[in-house]
Amino acid sequence: MTPPSPPDRPARLVRPARRVVSLVPSLTEAVAVSDPGLLVGATDWCSRPAGLDVVRVGGTKNPDVAAVAALRPDLVIANEEENRPPDLAALRAAGLRVLVTEVRSLPQAFAELGRVLTDGCGLARPGWLDTAEAAWREVTPYAPRLRAVVPVWRRPWMTLGRDTFAGDLLARLGVDHVHAGSPERYPRIDPADLPAADLVVLPDEPYRFTAADGPEAFPALPAALVSGRHLTWYGPSLAEAPTVLGRALRAAAR
């Protein structure tokens, strides 16, 4: 993982943004759902909303700076974990305004979404954001609490560690991940040498775990195959995430 760059804390734009490029799939969806005409560019990995028709500017880790600049955006939105500091520096050197988010917990996600959409893009607070906050206030954690291994990558095996957004979501649902005390945010692990756990949680991104790719490495644990978009994205998917994730976790824990 690349080291974080300090998030920008700009004041509201003097005039509302009319052209936005997003380098983060979560934020792409958030902007496109809130104001469909605002987004002019996004990464190759920005898959939501379905049918998104904007200029593609490369990956989250290797955006084409010249292509971004050619779109003449009022604002480029990025994230300290998903985007590399050298790329953000190059965008700024090209004269572009870059807003960088930091999201490591659910409250922080809601705060940063508000900052991007209202302060950054000059939009009114969208109704879906209120709906998402209400959905999470109504969550009843699974009881008794469960302990889970939560891989996010294979070859090498990596899991959720300390201080992660996905880990915070799981904890609010009643699932504590066993590597939360790791000094690393995404530690490498050996599936044959794990702390005691009740289940393994396997999202379909960033690595696409499936019923045929992942559970076999943890034969002693029931596997919950979950939507990575609902576990790791911060945007409109947060409104339905408690229900979608809760259903998958409960099914595996029976």
- Per the omega criterion (within 30 degrees of 0), is the bond before 206 cis? yes
Mean pLDDT of the 189-196 span: 95
Q: Facing residues of 213 across strands?
A: 210
The predicted pLDDT at position 192 comes to 93
Q: Residue 1: pLDDT band by 50, 70, 90 thresholds? A: very low
Does the pLDDT of residue 254 top 90, yes or no? Answer: no
241 vs 254: CA distance, rounded Å: 20
pLDDT digits (tens, 9 = 90+) for 170-183: 999 999 999 999 99
Q: How far is CA 4 from the centre of its chain?
A: 15
Which helix (DSSP H) or strand (DSSP E) does residue 246 occupy?
helix 241-253
111 vs 20: CA distance, rounded Å: 19
The predicted pLDDT at position 17 comes to 86
pLDDT digits (tens, 9 = 90+) for 82-115: 999 999 999 999 999 999 999 999 999 999 999 9
b/e per residue, 62-94, with b = 16+ CB within 10 A? ebbbeebbebebbbbbbbbbbbbeebbebbeee
The total of other beta-carbon atoms located within 10 Å of residue 95's CB is 7
In the chain, the domains with their CATH numbers are 20-125 (3.40.50.1980), 137-253 (3.40.50.1980)
